[in-house]
Structure 1
């Protein structure tokens, strides 16, 4: 999926006023997601994204590795509250808006990524964040 197409879909799904706001939201979610995922998985996700979004995801994965948070094996451990807070800080919004934007970005990522990669990503997330994924909304709660 092309960058402009992804941003346009995020804008529509999250009901954002303009492309700049959708771009900020997308970068905030991608960066925060990259911190939560194992760095190797984050790099696999980045490989399927448009170059500028991939770069944002790789930078966050590199920073996590440099901080010793993952060393390529595990992402930083945090739940939905921290996830929403980090997105809100990066996007310059409140946490409720950040969650709505995160759900939109994750839905667009779900459509952009290979299905097996989306499954791996879902498996690496805690249940509270995983519920933002479109598959989880359709399936309801799953056991950890």
Structure 2
């Protein structure tokens, strides 16, 4: 999957009015995910995504001032961070993050998104992957 297709899929599924909004939702979701999952897993996931999309994961996971990856977060905290980064309210950010993760699941090998899901607390994984078929 290339960058334009990825962003187009996010825009369509999240019913966003612009590609810029889809870019923002993707960036916010993946940067927050990179804070939550182990750095090696973020790097593996980034390697399977279009370069421009994968950079959102790499930038956070490899930042020198990044205290730790794999930080435990309650679902509300995770989605609050996504909302702040995307400039969206919590329900909208939650929906958009789910859409981004659906596209991530289709753009990568299914086993990798399964590993992402396994690295998350059950409640966060259930919320983030709600409705997704490619992540189980």
- 1:124 pairs with 2:119: yes
Structure with max Cα Rg: 1
Match of 1:97 among 92, 96, 101: 92
Residues in 2 aligned to 1:22 and 1:67: alpha-carbon distance in whole angstroms? 25
Q: Is the 8 A contact 1:130 1:136 kept in 2?
A: no
Give runs of ≥4 in structure 1 deviating > 4 Å.
none
Which whole-Å deviations, capped at 9, do the CAs of 1:2-36 have from their partners, x for residues lacking one?
Answer: 11101111111111111110110001001111110
Question: What TM-score does the superposition give when structure 2 sets the normalisation length?
Answer: 0.91
Question: What TM-score does the superposition give when structure 1 sets the normalisation length?
Answer: 0.86
Task: Please give the secondary structure, in 1, of the residue aligned with 2:82.
Answer: helix
Q: Is the 8 A contact 1:31 1:60 kept in 2?
A: yes
Aligned residue number for residue 24 of structure 1? 24
Q: Is the 8 A contact 1:42 1:61 kept in 2?
A: yes
Deviation at 1:128, TM superposition (A): 2.0
Q: Is the 8 A contact 2:106 2:134 kept in 1?
A: no
Task: Number of aligned residue pairs: give it.
Answer: 133
Segments of structure 1 that go 5 or more residues without pairing to the other structure are 140-144
